[in-house]
Amino acid sequence: MYKIMTKLHTTRDNVFAFHMVYNDNDELVEYAVDTPEEAADEALKLLGRVGYEDLRIVNDDPYYLELVYGIKPIPEPKLYTLIVKGEGVEVTEECTKDIEENSTATVKVSFNAPVFTFHLMIDGVEHKDGLPKWITYDGINESQGELIFSGITSDHEIIIIVDEYIISA
């Protein structure tokens, strides 16, 4: 619904009120129509009584009304999912969901045997020359560690590929 607001001339600046009209029952109600064109036609009629600067046509959707009243809407957070898996690897929280944009997620990995080297395949692309800047690995011991994903900006599927195990003598 579209409504018209008119400026009230008070000691305070930018004070507006909804334009009121009488309905079929002679009740005073806020003027409201379905299209902006209908609201514009009514606003043209009001221009004889109020100035152009003193009129506002607003959509009464709460989002738009909050903007009119100076309340910035809280944006919906962008949420992402990380799927981490691998052969010979146990991952706590294999599928980490609802990660907010640019936040950090940590996944604990436990290898079946002590690992000397491994690499990641991220979204189908192998990274054999080291981890991307947004991923770090914090080794707890030779068979456990944490993958820390920082600044997440999209969904990812990550596969851990063991290159070489530590062979004990």
40-64 pLDDT, tens per residue?
888 888 887 777 778 888 887 776 6
Q: Are residues 105 and 33 in the same domain?
A: no
Q: Are residues 17 and 54 in the same domain?
A: yes
Buried b (16+ CB within 10 A) or exposed e, 87-121: eebebeeeebeebeeeeebebebebeeebeebbbe
Q: What is the DSSP string of 108-122?
A: EEEESS-EEEEEEEE
Q: Are residues 87 and 61 in the same domain?
A: no
In a domain, 74, yes or no: no
Q: Are residues 87 and 137 in the same domain?
A: yes
- Which among 127, 130, 149 is positioned nearest to 80, based on CA atoms? 149
Strand-pairing partners, residue 150, are none
Q: What percent of the chain has pLDDT over 90?
A: 34
Instruction: Indicate the residue among 48, 68, 88 that finishes a domain.
Output: 68
pTM score, two decimals?
A: 0.57
Looking at the structure of the chain, the number of domains it has is 2
Q: Are residues 154 and 88 in the same domain?
A: yes
Mean pLDDT of 153-165: 92
Q: Are residues 100 and 155 in the same domain?
A: yes
Which residues constitute the domain of residue 141? 79-165
Instruction: Indicate the residue among 68, 98, 120 that finishes a domain.
Output: 68
CB 125 within 8 A of CB 88: no
Confidence of residue 157 (pLDDT cuts 50, 70, 90): very high
- Which among 111, 109, 108 is positioned nearest to 88, based on CA atoms? 111
**pLDDT for 169 beyond 60:** no
Q: Are residues 37 and 97 in the same domain?
A: no
In a domain, 134, yes or no: yes
Instruction: Indicate the residue among 23, 47, 68 that finishes a domain.
Output: 68
In a domain, 73, yes or no: no
How many C-beta atoms surround the C-beta of residue 32 within 10 A? Answer: 15
With tokens 């560690």, the residue in question is 145
Strand-pairing partners, residue 91, are 109
Please write the tens of the pLDDT for every residue from 139-156.
999 889 999 999 999 999
